[in-house]
Structure 1
Amino acid sequence: MSVGELDALDRRILYLLQAEARHTSSSDVAASVDASASTVRNRIQRLESEGIIRGYHADVDYEAAGHQLFTLIVCTAPMPDREELAAAAAEVPGVVEVQEVVSGERNVLVQAIGVDGDDLTRIGEELDELGLRVSDEDLIRSTHRRPYSGFEE
């Protein structure tokens, strides 16, 4: 199913879940979209089974949790190996997220938590051993998210 195939109810459900999935029940969504709670539950189950909703994740403030070395590591992977290397990078201890970029030199973005400088060095070395070339490393101060407005109606 493509985004073009989502109806207004699907899009609104996605918007509300992106805004606050943890404290949003099917009844809460139903009240916002003028549908029954069972309809909302069925829609959410379908969106999950079709892979449109891929999961629910905690948004952790790593600094508040005592981990001040939350780092973005910008890497380059050979295009034919990018997907495989990105998946392997996600398995490196300390890595919390990996994004593949469609094209260009800096085509794998790795977010990692290091307990100290030596730990960040280890993570960088393990990424290098996989075949990723580390281009840049930056400490992340904070992340700001919001639901995709294209789902809001």
Structure 2
Amino acid sequence: MRIRDLDELDKHIVYALQAAARHTSSSDIAEQLDVSPSTVRSRIQQLEADGVIRGYYADVDYERAGFQLFTLIVCTAPIPDREELAERAVEIPGVVEVQEVMTGEANVLVRAVGSDGDDLSRIGEELDELGLKVSDEDIIRNTHRHPYHRFENGEDRENDAGQ
């Protein structure tokens, strides 16, 4: 994995895209920073090529889409198998996201959408068949997001606050 240092332009681009990628153009970002839109497009392409920006995702309100059960399923996987099991778990119908956690217990977090309790039971059973031990299931009410604040204009608010 290549580690990349971000300069102020890169940080601003990442912050702007996290805040509203769908409604932010290269021209908008360029205007804010007094650079050309082609410079911004080039930087975005390089950030994507370097794996800093991995994709653009729709933020779906599953309840409004008719899926009442958006669930966080907490699982444990054997450490040597964690990555492989996480990759396989995301292929289960209804699973929308899987995160690997760096701890021994509760080290795989699965976000799944189900139409009813039977659907969630099926997802849990399929996770178990893969070799993931389900330890907890929680219905998610709301998710709140904000772009990482240290990308905003390159400022480090925590350090600035203490000065």
2:69 corresponding residue in structure 1: 69
2:114 corresponding residue in structure 1: 114
Please report how far the alpha carbon of residue 2 of structure 1 lies from its aligned counterpart in structure 2 after TM superposition.
Answer: 2.7
Q: Gapped runs of 5+ residues in structure 1? A: none
Q: Secondary structure at the match of 1:152?
A: helix
RMSD: 0.8
1:100 corresponding residue in structure 2: 100
**TM-score under structure 2 normalisation?**
0.91
**Separation of aligned partners in 1, 2:62 and 2:43:** 33
1:2 corresponding residue in structure 2: 3
Q: Secondary structure at the match of 1:111?
A: strand
1:48 corresponding residue in structure 2: 48
Q: Secondary structure at the match of 1:142?
A: coil
**Separation of aligned partners in 2, 1:95 and 1:30:** 37
2:16 corresponding residue in structure 1: 16
Letter in structure 2 aligned against 1:30: A
**Separation of aligned partners in 1, 2:35 and 2:3:** 23
Q: Gapped runs of 5+ residues in structure 2? A: 154-163
1:135 corresponding residue in structure 2: 135
Please report how far the alpha carbon of residue 33 of structure 1 lies from its aligned counterpart in structure 2 after TM superposition.
Answer: 1.6
Please report how far the alpha carbon of residue 46 of structure 1 lies from its aligned counterpart in structure 2 after TM superposition.
Answer: 0.3
Letter in structure 2 aligned against 1:2: I
**Separation of aligned partners in 1, 2:33 and 2:140:** 36
Aligned residues: 152
Q: Deviations over 1:131-151 (max 9, x none)?
A: 000000000001000000111
Identity %: 72
1:80 corresponding residue in structure 2: 80
1:145 and 2:145 aligned: yes
Letter in structure 1 aligned against 2:152: E
1:124 corresponding residue in structure 2: 124
**TM-score under structure 1 normalisation?**
0.97
